[in-house]
Amino acid sequence: MARVAFIGLGTMGLPMARNLIAAGHEVIGVDVDPGRAELLGPPVAATPAEAAEAAGVALLSLPSPSAVEEVVLGAAGLRSRAPRGFAVVDMSTGPPELARTLAAELGRAGIESLDAPVSGGPAGAEAASLTIMVGGSREAFERQRALLEALGDLVVHVGPAGAGQAAKLCNNLIAGVTMAAIAEACAVAEREGIEPAVLYDMLTRSTGDSRVLRTRFPLAGASPEHPASREYAPLFSLDLMAKDLDAALALAAAHGVEAPVASASRARYREAQERGAGALDYSAVYTALDP
Helix %, strand %, coil % of the chain (to 5): 55, 15, 35
The DSSP symbol for 66 reads H
258 by Cβ neighbours in 10 Å (0-12 / 13-18 / 19+) ranks as: exposed
**CA-based nearest residue to 164, from 64, 68, 255, 95:** 95
Catalytic residue among 168, 226, 243, 266: 168
Q: How far is CA 129 from CA 58, 132, 240, 281, in A?
A: 20, 9, 21, 21
Cβ neighbour number for residue 24 with a 10 Å cutoff: 9
b/e burial code for range 152-166 (CB count within 10 A of at least 16 → b): beebebbebbbbbbb
Any catalytic annotation for residue 243?
no
The H-assigned helical ranges of 116-210 are: 121-127, 138-149, 163-191, 196-203
Tell me the one-letter amino acid at 204.
Answer: T
Give 211's contacts (C-beta < 8 A, 6+ positions apart): none
Q: Tell whether the torsion through CA atoms of 214, 219, 222 and 228 is positive or negative.
A: positive
SS (H, E, C) 67-82: HHHHHHHCCCCHHHCC
C-alpha span between 3 and 49 (Å, rounded)? 15
Which are the catalytic amino acids? 168
